[in-house]
Amino acid sequence: MVTQTVECIEMEVEMPKSYVTRLRCKRCEYKWVPRIPSPAVCPKCHSPYWNKSATRKTGVRRNKR
């Protein structure tokens, strides 16, 4: 009987892109696969508020006379 010894080597395996979480910028609608867990800015529009929706301030309009 022949026995083989297999050396266990820790390898870094890339997962297919379909399994990787994609992020989406709420400002420019750009989608990307992040290199780091929480990026500081959107890679396309460079907005630091990529994960917050763009809202306008609503206020009382004054009548122009």
Residue 21 pLDDT grade (very low, low, confident, very high; cuts 50, 70, 90): confident
Sign of the torsion angle spanned by Cα atoms 18, 42, 35, 40? negative
pLDDT digits (tens, 9 = 90+) for 28-50: 999 999 988 889 999 999 999 99
**Residue keyed to tokens 């989406």:** 24
User: Looking at per-residue confidence, does 61 or 25 come out higher?
Assistant: 25
For the segment 19-26, the average pLDDT, to the nearest whole number, is 85
Residue 34 DSSP symbol: -
Going by C-alpha positions, the residue among 25, 21, 22 that lies closest to residue 51 is 25
First to last CA, the chain: 101
Three-state DSSP class for 50? coil
d(CA 48, CA 13): 31
